[in-house]
Amino acid sequence: MPKSKENREGFTEEEDRLWRETVKTGEDMRRMFNMRDERRRREAEKELKEQWPSTEAARLFTQLGETFKACQKLLEQDPEIEETAKLADGERHDVFTMLRDNLERANRAPRCEYPRSGGRPCRAPKVRGQKYCNMHLAMETARPTKFSLPALDDANSIQVALNKTAQGLVDGTLDEKVATKLAYVLQVAMSNVDKLDFEPEEDEEEMEEEVDQESDEEMEQESGEEEMEGESAN
């Protein structure tokens, strides 16, 4: 798998565009660096998986796994062979016993709860006191920790929300299911935005009373001024 083409700062063309359009604060910068590092990790992991089958380590691990399974099957068929192996070749028997015991302990260990794309959990042993295994803890740490939207009370704020939704899909803040639901909510908000008016309407009677009160005050003020002018004339 070819690695993504990066600029001098280590960003892809898409990441560089997001940087120019979205980075305003130090938190935005941290989010972009995390997104870049996560993308690099995924690429390195995929490259390793592609190269692994052709390595000597892969051949030895495959051989070990096949041999271990063959030993387990043999013991299931004839349990007395274990005692014979222990007497005849204690050192290699101890290696098998250690592998078997470790595997059994690992199978009893609490499992990672990270949901895979098919809906099933990861099932790798999770880190003590955490919900996930080491790999998925690292992935979660690299993700932005907060996704927020503005109040959806005008067309501009809805457009900002759409931009954030698209960005969330790119940087991993949102999964596709959540983004689909959010897109529907934004569609409803856009269809309603012209019908909204959060300013309270004034009651017609109250407005008439205010106008009458202002008129009375103006008349009283004019009458007072006329009286003062008459007294001055006298």
pLDDT at position 100 is 86
**Which of the residue ranges 47-56, 165-174, 222-231 would you say has the lowest mean pLDDT?**
222-231
Mean pLDDT for all residues in the chain: 78
Encoded tokens for 187: 């569609």
Q: Tens digits of per-residue pLDDT, 82-102? A: 888 888 888 888 888 888 888
Q: Tens digits of per-residue pLDDT, 167-214? A: 777 766 677 777 788 888 888 888 877 776 655 555 555 555 655 666
For 196-227, give one letter per residue: b (16+ CB within 10 A) or e: eeeeeeeeeeeeeeeeeeeeeeeeeeeeeeee
CA–CA distance, 154 with 194 (Å, rounded to integer): 8
pLDDT at position 30 is 86
pLDDT at position 55 is 93
pLDDT at position 54 is 93
Binned at pLDDT 50, 70 and 90, residue 62 comes out as very high
pLDDT at 163 over 60: yes
pLDDT at 136 over 60: yes
How do the domains of the chain map onto residue ranges?
1-54
pLDDT at position 207 is 52
Q: Tens digits of per-residue pLDDT, 103-135? A: 787 777 788 888 776 677 787 888 888 888 887
pLDDT at 139 over 80: no
Most confident of the ranges 19-33, 52-66, 87-101, 107-121: 52-66
Please count the other Cβ atoms lying within 10 Å of the Cβ belonging to residue 136: 21
Alpha helices in the chain (DSSP H): 13-22, 26-51, 56-77, 81-88, 90-108, 134-142, 155-171, 176-192, 204-233
CA–CA distance, 34 with 144 (Å, rounded to integer): 8
